[in-house]
Amino acid sequence: MVGLGAMPGYGIQSMLKEGHRHLSGLDEAVLKNIDACRELSAITRTSLGPNGMNKMVINHLDKLFVTNDAATIVNELEVQHPAAKILVLAARAQQEEIGDGANLTISFAGELLEKAGGAHQDGLAPERDHHWLQQSHQHGKLSFFQSRGILLAIQVLEDLIEKGSENMDVRNMEEVVLRMRSAVASKQFGQEDILCPLVADACIQVCPKNPANFNVDNVRVAKLVGGGLHNSSVVRGMVLKNDAVGSIKRVEKAKIAVFAGGVDTSATETKGTVLIHSAEQLENYSKTEEAKVEELIKAVADSGAKVIVSGAAVGDMALHFCERYKLMVLKISSKFELRRFCRTTGAIAILKLSRPNADELGYADSVSVEEIGGTRVTVVKNEAGGNSVATVVLRGSTDSILDDLERAVDDGVNTYKSMCRDSRIIPGAAATEIELARRLKEFSLKETGLDHAMEIISSLYAEHASGNTKVGIELEEGACKDVSILKIWDLYMTKFFALKYAADAVCTVLRVDQIIMAKPAGGPRPQAGPGMDED
């Protein structure tokens, strides 16, 4: 029978192992969560917009990132605070769903939490705060929003949609570039007129018959150091960053055989020993092996193939016979690149070296080795069309610049994917945000008991109060102008999901009123402090 002295602690102490941390109450849990999220938001906020500042982040592998891309910043920071992680997850969801607007999601969520924190400090009970943020709503597509403020924001967004923008030809270069410029300019301001036509061209090339099935993986990026952005180009096909194996460097109108298992003599499943008594026996043994390899390579050549692609090793003897039968040899070690190559050429990967059937062969208009900026690359082209992969060849002076250019291209490609689903546009250049702020402030003045302080730009507010809802900021002149004349537009979908994920993240953080952390394995026993229970 266990005595009273051996009984574990009471309350939450009886449930958790020794060394746990338990934070509760307004100061210890709610406000600390809000502060952590505000700090994260402050990091990314200065990177928002075309003139946003870059961050220099060095991750745990000592890899350097110099970028203003919020998704990259928060991922490489490896945020540990559980509440701030919720904002990171919201930004990641935005990035995966839309491919752009991660910074808007974090910044907006941070501002909401800052105002909620002020309300808490003014004595507003958390239950009432949640009630304000989470009024239930039953209007169909908006049913997943549970915030009155967010519901109003979505209604304002829908009011600002440009009439007729829902009807769009996703293969029209001019219309695609128009919708893509803002997303690309937010990463590479001043370079959007060069980048957007490249990205739009690549996307249109690989757009399927049903645009809703557009796959962002079909637009590839090849980063080659040297030259400048004006040297960049689009290839209808793939660019492999390696040289061909052997002496044959160019083939036109080529049928292609792909072998996932490599181009080499197949080893036996069991080990064996061959006893050779004379030089003649050794010569006959070698000739037999050579004859077998030659037979296999000749069978590939007889099938009509001019190019062999190996997914693994290329044996010296096999390469010798490939040269004899005028077969170009490529080696692609990455299985993902091999799959993309098969998509590009229409080939079917064969597991072992054998004669391919006609339907297993792929085709390319040309396969050639070229030298670009001192780097030898293999270019696989399908100029006549029919290819399902296009490659944007980016040129730049350093790896950091190329990495940031790639992020801009990625935003452009994801924007194209979004416009294939929903092409509606709303005014850009802060016009939409200011109109949202103005309408929400008017709405907030009708509410009581909340802190509604908001920094605004007085000139923009005056324009919008006069009914000019499409007036935004013209950065080069620093003046307020009509964005419909300047052709600066943002996708409706980007703002819609940014508001959705930010509101969901804020509601999740504000619901938390206790933090309970188990003791780390092998870690030191934490010191007891205010608001922290100790066994």
Report long-range pairs for 77-80 (Cβ below 8 Å, ≥24 apart).
Answer: 77/43, 79/40
Q: Are residues 308 and 258 in the same domain?
A: yes
Under the phi-then-psi rule, with left for phi > 0, alpha for psi from -120 to 50, and beta for the rest, what region is 203? alpha
| Short-list 530, 535, 463, CA closest to 23 | 530
- What is the domain count for the chain? 3
Q: What CA–CA distance (Å, rounded) separates 383 from 237?
A: 8
Taking the chain (535 residues) in runs of 10, the rounded mean pLDDT of each run is 48 62 61 85 85 84 85 87 89 87 89 74 49 39 49 87 88 90 88 92 89 89 89 89 86 88 62 73 69 84 88 83 88 87 87 84 89 87 73 90 91 91 88 87 64 55 85 78 86 87 84 64 46 42
Sequence-distant (6+) residues with CB within 8 A of 263 are 308, 310, 313, 314, 315, 318, 319, 322, 329, 353
pLDDT of residue 304: 86
Question: Could you give the 3-state DSSP secondary structure of residue 514?
Answer: strand
Distances (CA, A) of 357 to 30, 71, 338, 343: 66, 46, 19, 17
pLDDT of residue 194: 92
pLDDT of residue 49: 77
CB 412 within 8 A of CB 183: yes
Q: Are residues 250 and 277 in the same domain?
A: yes
Q: Are residues 348 and 452 in the same domain?
A: no
499 lies in some domain: yes
Q: Are residues 149 and 18 in the same domain?
A: yes
pLDDT of residue 199: 94
Q: Are residues 261 and 324 in the same domain?
A: yes
The structure's pTM equals 0.74
pLDDT of residue 66: 83
421 lies in some domain: no
Q: Are residues 474 and 496 in the same domain?
A: no
Final residue in a domain of this structure, among 487, 509, 528: 487
Distances (CA, A) of 232 to 160, 221, 227: 36, 11, 9
pLDDT of residue 126: 47
Q: What CA–CA distance (Å, rounded) separates 217 from 400?
A: 22
Burial state string for 363-384 with b = 16 or more CB within 10 A and e = fewer than 16: bbbebbbeebeeeebbbbbbee
Q: Are residues 509 and 452 in the same domain?
A: no
Q: Are residues 354 and 450 in the same domain?
A: no
pLDDT of residue 106: 92
pLDDT of residue 26: 54
Q: Are residues 382 and 443 in the same domain?
A: no
Report long-range pairs for 120-125 (Cβ below 8 Å, ≥24 apart).
Answer: 120/26, 120/30, 120/31, 120/34, 121/31, 122/451, 124/449, 124/450
Q: Are residues 20 and 115 in the same domain?
A: yes
110 lies in some domain: yes
For residue 292, how many other CB atoms are within 10 A of its CB? 13
393 lies in some domain: no
167 lies in some domain: no
Final residue in a domain of this structure, among 325, 354, 386: 386
β-strand partners of 263: 314
Q: What CA–CA distance (Å, rounded) separates 245 from 255?
A: 17
Q: Are residues 435 and 377 in the same domain?
A: no
Q: Are residues 368 and 266 in the same domain?
A: yes
| Short-list 298, 320, 292, 322, CA closest to 308 | 322
Tell me the two tokens of residue 292.
């077998």
Print the domain residue range for 498. Answer: 13-127+134-162+491-517
107 lies in some domain: yes
CB 257 within 8 A of CB 346: no
Question: Could you give the 3-state DSSP secondary structure of residue 163?
Answer: coil
532 lies in some domain: no
Tell me the two tokens of residue 411.
């935003």
201 lies in some domain: no
